[in-house]
């Protein structure tokens, strides 16, 4: 499969112009584009610039309200519930994490939820941002359409329901957990499809429940599996309860599938100053990370810290550029032309 | 392997007398005994009455301070850091969850941590209790001795680091997540050893890193694996950061292994009234649980709700009694006789 390579800078500019041309205010267009390009930089192409195309489609269909503002509808000193008003999901999620960090710093810990929230993209963007402000952040997110079977079950029931956590560290390498509670995010199956690649046989079942290595099986009635057997299923279920039931968002099982790919979000942010203190926490985290890195690996393998693959990918792709499958690139070029944006 | 069967009531009384005879104040002895018997009732024999023996040994060695009181050493309206003063871990954990629930009800969300905390037993006991008070509770716990390899690693590095979450429901069946982030808790390997049973080959590696079905391999220099490959490893690592680094407790890697099996604990409690409201949350949770139960299972399998196996086991064992391996029972009888307690 053939690829072209583009610089992050060029892609950011292109995304900003594509969204601006559709009525997204400039600052917001820049921000959405930045979060998507950041996903590619960190190696998560499943959450990257292919959304230039799908978000444009959702704007056209009226699912994304280009200039809507998320509004806090219920609030206490340490909590907030935010109505996203179907603004771009990134705008709602960034508002939510900012409120969460502010409240955690004032009141030790905070919880912020969102509903009427579009797809927020790569969840680790927000928790990582919060950790750089000196707080620990966790995000419990449901995806409002079914894709994953429950444990022992048949058929799509829950969303891919990502979980993310990040903590402050003293080094430039952050500690970042950021993953779907399914074996992989749906976007990773799409990337394999775009790349015409086979997938590992533990990701999916086809529509008859058979083992398969064909990424097309998901669109043809198959389903994803949760990671880690019943233990991953438990987390997947918890995301539905915290992200959706708690906030009044659509659950994975909800038959009403419009708008597509909604996210119900619950953020918990904690100020280490309420415990051991921020500086002591950073030192403790750094020292634990170093100790783990120094432990012995299996022959031919590496010990990686959560967040390290993302950090390494970003360094490399900032230097060498971001590889894009021809198919994805031609879709982006086509939407840009349609909008009169110079590529 | 042969078993004897005892009623929960008789075991509770026996445990209370064993701990009382060693100077644990009556109410606390009753409580510790109750939590251990509850673990057997819910099917988690790994966290049950075998601790009548090991806690007695730790009292004898001075690791458990029988009449110590946990003290809050740092506090804000929504957070507390508790020095357990090496009281029985159950006493410290119950104090912590009570403070967490109280603060969450007053301030929407709370975080409570503990250090100098002995083994707290089955973590789900506390989160389940909190959920019955109408709050959502999560516990991030590290175990202060190494037992589990990190992903791609060789040798024991982290503790078995349990995670638990429970949410209020309207029905008698709670939603309860409660598991080690290793494939299984160390106690489950001990149970297999006591029962002279083989174990599944994905639980352990022996001291040379080989696949094994021998539960003795763990005591002979082997190590547990984390559940769910790198995704479980991420959670396992998060427990070290939140349970240990954040609270100033001993990490899994700490070479100082006395007292044995310490727990660093971070509790997060959230009041649904800050979001959709408690009654609406319970209704939403119940309805989601019913929908999931009604989905189709694989041939010959059942869809289970997290917490349902525990609920079913408790019903059955309250009726039929608790089966105990002869070896475990004879150890309990022997410690009871030593203490002059009538069995």
**Does the distance separating the beta carbons of B234 and A155 come in below 8 Å?**
no
DSSP A188-243: HHHHHHHTT----TTSEE-TTS-B---GGGGTTT-EE-BTTHHHHHHHHHHHIIII
**Does the distance separating the beta carbons of B76 and A175 come in below 8 Å?**
no
Q: What is the DSSP letter of A267?
A: E
Q: How far is C-alpha B178 from the geometric centre of its chain's CA atoms? A: 7
The interface predicted TM-score (ipTM) is: 0.96
Q: Look up the CATH number of the domain holding residue A156.
A: 3.30.1370.60
Mind listing the pLDDT tens digit for each residue in B12-46? 999 999 999 999 999 999 999 999 999 999 999 98
Within a domain: B312: yes
* B316 shares a domain with B287: no
**Does the distance separating the beta carbons of A285 and B241 come in below 8 Å?**
yes
Whether A229 contacts chain B with CB within 8 A:
yes
pLDDT computed for residue A190 by the predictor:
86
Q: Give the count of beta carbons closer than 10 Å to the beta carbon of residue B338.
A: 12
Q: Residue B81 belongs to what domain range?
A: 72-182+226-294
pLDDT computed for residue A1 by the predictor:
65
Within a domain: A308: no
Q: Token pair 């490399």 is at which residue?
A: A316
* A245 shares a domain with A151: yes
A288 contacts in B (CB within 8 Å)? Answer: 240-241, 245, 251, 253
**Does the distance separating the beta carbons of A109 and B297 come in below 8 Å?**
no
pLDDT computed for residue B15 by the predictor:
98
DSSP B13-55: HHHHHHHHTTT--HHHHHHHHHHHHHHHHTT-GGGSTHHHHHH
Separation CA A321–CA A316 (nearest Å): 8
Q: How far is A244 from chain B (nearest CA, A)?
A: 9
Q: In a 3-state reduction of DSSP, which class is residue A150?
A: coil
* A152 shares a domain with A82: yes
Of B126, B148, B149, B129, nearest to B139 (Cα)?
A: B126
Give the gyration radius of chain A's Cα atoms. Answer: 20
Q: How far is A167 from chain B (nearest CA, A)?
A: 8
At A61, give phi and psi (nearest 5°).
Answer: -80, -5
Out of A76, A151, A167, whose CB is closest to B241?
A167
Separation CA A66–CA A56 (nearest Å): 10
* B153 shares a domain with B117: yes
Within a domain: A165: yes
For chain B, give the percent of residues with pLDDT over 70: 99
Whether A77 contacts chain B with CB within 8 A:
yes
Contact of A130 with A137, CB cutoff 8 Å: yes
* A87 shares a domain with A135: yes
Separation CA A41–CA A313 (nearest Å): 6
Within a domain: B127: yes
Within a domain: A333: yes
* A163 shares a domain with A32: no
* A56 shares a domain with A103: no
B231 contacts in A (CB within 8 Å)? Answer: 179, 227-228, 232
* A168 shares a domain with A95: yes
Mind listing the pLDDT tens digit for each residue in A304-326? 999 999 999 999 999 999 999 99
* A143 shares a domain with A15: no
**C-alpha separations of A267 from A6, A110, A239 in Å:** 34, 8, 11
Q: Token pair 């022959």 is at which residue?
A: A299
Domain's final residue, options A270, A298, A333? A270
Domain's final residue, options B254, B273, B294? B294
Q: How far is B330 from chain A (nearest CA, A)?
A: 34
Whether B237 contacts chain A with CB within 8 A:
yes
Question: Which residues on adjacent β-strands are paired with residue B6?
Answer: B322
Q: How far is C-alpha A340 from the geometric centre of its chain's CA atoms? A: 29
B286 contacts in A (CB within 8 Å)? Answer: none
pLDDT computed for residue B257 by the predictor:
77
Q: Token pair 């707290």 is at which residue?
A: B120
Interface list for B 168-187 with A (CB within 8 A): 175, 177, 179
Question: Which positions ≥6 away from A172 have C-beta within 8 Å?
Answer: A311
Q: Which residues of chain A have pLDDT under 70?
A: 1, 255
Contact of A220 with A207, CB cutoff 8 Å: yes
Whether B298 contacts chain A with CB within 8 A:
yes
Whether A283 contacts chain B with CB within 8 A:
no
Pairing of strands B109-115, B263-270: antiparallel
Whether A278 contacts chain B with CB within 8 A:
no
- As for how many domains chain B has, the answer is 2
Task: State the sign of the Cα–Cα–Cα–Cα dihedral B86, B87, B90, B92.
Answer: negative
DSSP A92-122: HHHHHHHHHHHHHHHHSEEEEEEES------
* A55 shares a domain with A135: no
Mind listing the pLDDT tens digit for each residue in A126-136? 999 999 999 99
* A169 shares a domain with A250: yes
Q: Look up the CATH number of the domain holding residue B29.
A: 1.10.1530.10
Whether A260 contacts chain B with CB within 8 A:
no
Within a domain: A45: yes
The pTM of the full predicted model, rounded to 2 decimals, is: 0.97
* B263 shares a domain with B132: yes
Within a domain: A284: no
Within a domain: B278: yes
**Does the distance separating the beta carbons of B152 and A298 come in below 8 Å?**
yes
Out of A154, A268, A272, whose CB is closest to B297?
A154
Q: Which residues of chain B have pLDDT under 70?
A: 1, 255
pLDDT computed for residue A186 by the predictor:
83
Separation CA B238–CA B150 (nearest Å): 12
Mind listing the pLDDT tens digit for each residue in A114-127? 999 999 999 999 99
């Amino acid at each position: 499969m053939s690829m072209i390579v583009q610089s992050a800078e060029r892609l950011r500019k292109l995304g900003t112009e594509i969204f601006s041309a559709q009525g997204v205010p400039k600052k917001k267009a820049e921000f959405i584009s930045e979060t998507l390009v950041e996903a590619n930089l960190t190696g998560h192409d499943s959450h990257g610039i292919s959304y230039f195309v799908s978000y444009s489609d959702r704007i056209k269909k009226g699912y994304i309200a280009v200039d809507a503002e998320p509004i806090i509808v219920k609030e206490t000193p340490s909590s907030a519930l935010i109505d996203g008003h179907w603004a771009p999901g990134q705008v709602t999620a960034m508002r939510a994490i900012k409120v969460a960090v502010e409240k955690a710093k004032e009141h030790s810990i905070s919880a912020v939820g969102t509903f009427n929230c579009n797809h927020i993209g790569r969840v680790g963007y927000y928790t990582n941002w919060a950790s750089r402000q000196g707080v620990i952040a966790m995000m419990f997110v449901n995806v409002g359409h079914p894709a994953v079977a429950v444990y022992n079950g048949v058929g799509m029931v829950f969303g891919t329901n990502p979980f993310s956590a990040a903590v402050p560290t003293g080094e430039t390498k952050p500690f970042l957990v950021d993953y779907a509670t399914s074996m992989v995010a749906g976007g990773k199956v799409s990337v394999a499809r775009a790349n015409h690649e086979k997938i590992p046989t533990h990701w999916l079942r086809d529509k008859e429940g058979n083992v398969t290595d064909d990424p097309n099986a998901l669109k043809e009635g198959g389903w994803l599996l949760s990671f880690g057997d019943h233990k991953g299923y438990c987390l997947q279920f918890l995301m539905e309860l915290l992200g959706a039931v708690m906030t009044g968002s659509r659950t994975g099982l909800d038959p009403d599938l419009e708008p597509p790919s909604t996210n119900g979000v619950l953020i918990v942010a904690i100020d280490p100053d309420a415990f051991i203190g921020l500086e002591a926490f950073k030192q403790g985290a750094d020292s634990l990370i170093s100790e783990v890195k120094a432990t012995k690996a299996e022959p031919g393998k590496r010990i990686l810290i959560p967040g390290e693959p993302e950090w390494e990918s970003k360094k490399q792709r900032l230097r060498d550029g971001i590889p894009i499958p021809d198919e994805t690139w031609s879709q982006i070029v086509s939407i840009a032309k349609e909008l009169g944006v110079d590529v």
